[in-house]
Amino acid sequence: MTPGQPLRIGTRVSKLARWQSDWVAGQLQALGAAVEIVEIATQGDVQQTGPVADMGVQGLFTKEIQAALLDRRVDLAVHSFKDLPTQPIAGLALAAAPPREDSADALVANVPSTLATLPRGARVGTGSLRRRAQLLHLRPDLQIIGIRGNVDTRLRKLDDGAYDAIALAAAGLRRLGWSGRIQELLAPPRMLPAPGQGALALECRGDDQATRDLVSRLDDGATRLSVAAERAVLAALHGGCSAPIAAWGRIEKARLCLTGLVADVDGRQVLRAEAHADVTVENISAAMTAAVELGRQVADALLAQGAAALIQAARTG
């Protein structure tokens, strides 16, 4: 951040990404900062066909924004945490994780329905192997059909009759004012979310102390710890978006609880593991170490049940 100049926030161009960046901008303006929004098209935005898992690119929705940070074209990036690769980028740092929205998945349909009452063989759209596996585990009769596009694009495809229902992150629907379209929350523990789902990652250059100090005021300790544990599961399993991996972290009283899941793509085999650790949110440094270790512990438990074979089969199948 250059003294006397607005803080430049880099964001994807979708409606949801703009909502998230505008929300962050509003929070920073309330702290007295001048801000400017810079829209950046990512590869994931440009390439809108084919399953995300088949694209084989780390940072599909973040790489171009991170490059703009490193090139000093922007000072702060606003990412959906679930899009952010677990491998850190040299020169960049996580400045804050604001309070998390709902981490659950949601079922959207134009005819009042729950997952249990959808007609046999109903066409359900999702672009997520994680959602596909868990939906088929609960309802093996469903037809799971791929879907790509931003939230509004997916809703339009549903309205045009291409699907009987679609599964989306509840957080995006709530943020865009479409909570009324949610027919049912597919909430944990019944369905586990993607690591980081519903949370924002605010990233800046590691040497930009002024931005780090300002943005850190938006940080929420419980969110940071929960997401750190979830992402540690993903990192230890070397999962990315190419395998059905889920993780659900949450603070219950003074404990960080974590549930992890690995499944085959058709939901026939679902592995789960759970662990917890005592943490003190006020001592965030020590608690972060405990969160990462908890994630590794859950990943090890999943690997002991045979998770590696399911992940490899998902990548090659």
Q: Which helix (H) or strand (E) holds 136?
A: helix 129-138
Degrees, nearest 5: CA angle 140-145-151:
120
Q: What is the DSSP string of 153-202?
A: HHHHHHHTTS-SEEEEEHHHHHHTT-GGGEEEEE-TTTSPPPTTTT-EEE
Q: For 10, phi and psi rounded to 5 degrees?
A: -90, 135
Per-position b or e across 210-230, b if 16+ CB within 10 A of its CB: ebbebbeebbbbbbbbbbbbb
As a dihedral over the C-alpha atoms of residue 155, residue 263, residue 231, residue 37, rounded to 10 degrees, the angle is -20
Known catalytic residue at 208: no
Q: What is the CA radius of gyration of the chain?
A: 19
| Torsion sign, CA atoms 281, 287, 288, 293 | negative
Check residue 50 and report its DSSP letter.
S
- Round to whole Å and give the CA distance between 246 and 309: 16
Q: Which of 45, 75, 83, 264 is catalytic?
A: 83
Q: Which is nearest to 154 in space by CA: 139, 141, 166, 140? A: 166
Task: Compute the distance between CA of residue 47 and CA of residue 58 in angstroms, rounded to an integer.
Answer: 14
Residue 290 sits at φ, ψ, to 5 deg, of -65, -35
* Residues with active-site annotation: 83
